[in-house]
């Protein structure tokens, strides 16, 4: 089940980049970060463990600056989903 379809993945479900992670990014976030060389919706970029972790770090409450710029900031549920996607091996 993808977050996009209105639910959240269960513990057994594999989290997908296209179905679960991409919908978390707003168009303005995608454009803003692209101008900084961070390609939020490009799987080839985000599957790199270092890039994915850098993005997760920028989303954390203690990040400075924190993404998304000016908020609203991600919920703990969304942060957990992103972290779980990383932990599952960054599936497409």
For the segment 9-29, the average pLDDT, to the nearest whole number, is 88
Domain ranges for the chain:
13-87
- Out of 8-17, 39-48, 57-66, which region has the weakest mean confidence (pLDDT)? 8-17
Maximum Cα–Cα distance across the chain:
36
Q: What count of other Cβ atoms lies within 10 Å of the Cβ of residue 60? A: 14
Distances (CA, A) of 30 to 8, 9, 68, 89: 22, 23, 10, 22
| Structure tokens that stand for 32 in this block | 């803003």
Give the C-alpha separation, 85 to 83, whole Å.
5
State yes or no: pLDDT of 86 exceeds 50.
yes
Give the pLDDT confidence score for residue 69 in this predicted structure.
Answer: 87
What DSSP line would sit under 27-45, residue for residue? HHHHHHHHTTT--TT-HHH
Give the pLDDT confidence score for residue 46 in this predicted structure.
Answer: 98
- CA 13 from centroid of its chain's CA atoms: 17
Model pTM score: 0.84
């Amino acid at each position: 089940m993808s977050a996009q379809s209105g639910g959240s993945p269960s513990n057994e479900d594999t989290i997908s980049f296209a179905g679960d992670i991409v919908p978390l990014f707003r168009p303005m976030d995608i454009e803003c970060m692209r101008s900084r060389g961070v390609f939020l919706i490009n799987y080839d970029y985000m599957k790199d463990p270092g890039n994915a972790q850098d993005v997760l770090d920028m989303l954390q409450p203690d990040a400075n600056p924190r993404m998304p710029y000016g908020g609203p900031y991600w919920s703990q549920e969304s942060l957990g989903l992103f972290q779980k996607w990383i932990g599952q091996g960054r599936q497409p």
